[in-house]
Structure 1
Amino acid sequence: MPEIDQDERREWLQAAAKLEGAHRVTLGWMPASLAGYPMLRAPQLARNTPLMTEEMTTRYIRSKEEFASGLNQLSAPPSAPNLLGADSMGALQLDEAARQIRRALTSSRAWVAFHSAHQSLNDDAKEALRSARRELKQRLSAAALDDHESNLAIPRAEHRSHTMTEAVRSLTGPDRIYADAFGEVDRLLDLTMGNVFGELVLFGEPWRAPVFNVETQTPGEPLVGFQTEPIGAFLSTGQVLWLSTEAVTDAVWVELHSIKIDQAEGTHYYFEARVLLNTGEGWPSSTTQVPSI
């Protein structure tokens, strides 16, 4: 591997840090339009949960400072254009792009369901949510985590996730509906602003992949299964694709990938992907084909 000049490495790391900072502040600004923000009652936002920890986690981390910074009073993510070195015109374009994304999120099923769940909270439900957060604060305290696992990061992270899930599942009635609705909002942000956005930034326009044996999604489950040959070995989880089938007209995000090797039939590649609903209407048709093998 060729050596990288130290100044070049330092410059790259500084640019990457600014890019990450702009993405993080944008991601923090997006949910500021949620009903009740910044006083969100979700147990998932209790101290030391996977969303609020300072340790290793697979989730985007929130912070008290973020909720106290008045993001719901701002018309665009603060400091993002400056971090990206945008000129005045570029700053306007970045701000408007962020507003367009948030308008789309605000009209999404997850956002609307959360608003309805917030409106349905009564005093008993609010107290149940407070109680769940108090319990999580105790069960995920530094001492409690050390008792479970004092050194290894992955078991500590798994314990946080399991404990948070238990707390949500212990709820009933409007409080459970509220916590579940927040979970759907968080998953939507993770999918759109993390997985899909990151894929498009890194790799550009999605490929259109030739597929067969397509298993279309069932109502309420926007998942689709398919096989593809001979380019299966070049596809992986996390990719955004268009499928060459009239059965699925929206783009998809690949979630699962499996391989079956048979001496008689050869190697087969199976995929399961999440359908990115309505992208077929709002996204220009792909002009990029999978490279020929």
Structure 2
Amino acid sequence: MEKHKAILVEKNGEQLKYKLHDKKHSSATTKQTAAAVEDSDKSIPVITGSSKSKKPYSKKRPGKLKSFKPLVAAVISALVIGSVLGFFLLRLFVDVEGQVIGEPTGQATPATVAETAAGAAETAAVQLDSLQAYVLQAGIFSKEENAVKWAEGYLDKGVPTMVWEKDNQFFLLAGIAETKEQAAQMAENLQENGSIDIYVKEWSTSSGEAKLTEEEKGWIGEFQNAWTTSLASWSEKQTLSEETLNELAEAAPKNTETLTPLLSAVNESDEQATKLLQLMYNYEKTIQ
């Protein structure tokens, strides 16, 4: 070992340095010198290897974690915001594409709303006046089966009839006329020929409203005129104009539900004596 070379001595976790002057110095001299050097160099501590391996981790690790936290939070926020924006953009593109190619998007388009409003506006409440006449009453019953049975008996005698339900009763009617005098003359003719009892009675349908389109409203007006004209012709000549009824059937509106019962009565080939009664009865069904 060279003279005056400094060596390190560890004491209580600190390294102290002192110079070794000569090998021949006694141990006592060495101890005194080391003590003197120790006292003079205590103000300059030397970090040992073990402390070097511990202190850097204890000081630097918290700093690294703190620096990572803002970065992780920023990444998570970006992912959440990106997902939300992506979802709304996807919905937007799907809706736009559906409107372009005509696929349903779950929402009513302006055209659909307009068509619905227009369809609702086409129907309006229309006041229907009552039809009035005089009828030939052959009987009145509380049960329909009894009225039907009597109707079969009158038909065997050559007198066609119809059953009209009104006020929870069933009226058996054998004819119709425009005036009371005309009805009385018809009843007298039937009684002479059939040996049956006939009573003249004033008769009318109910008046009220019906929801009709403009086309249905126009046709119902034509029906009222045709029925009134046919009633006058029947009362005088005991005959109906087939041409008038055929024209009325041809002019009927298409795909109508409200007027279906009445149109069926127009198209049916009933006995002329009860035809106007059937039309009158189904006209009343139109009223709501």
Per the TM superposition, whether the score is higher than 0.5 is no
- Shorter-chain TM-score range: under 0.3
The TM-score, its normalising length taken from structure 2, stands at: 0.20
TM-score under structure 1 length normalisation: 0.20
Q: Name the structure where helix makes up a greater proportion of residues.
A: 2
Structure (1/2) with the larger strand percentage = 2
Larger Cα Rg: Structure 1 or Structure 2?
2
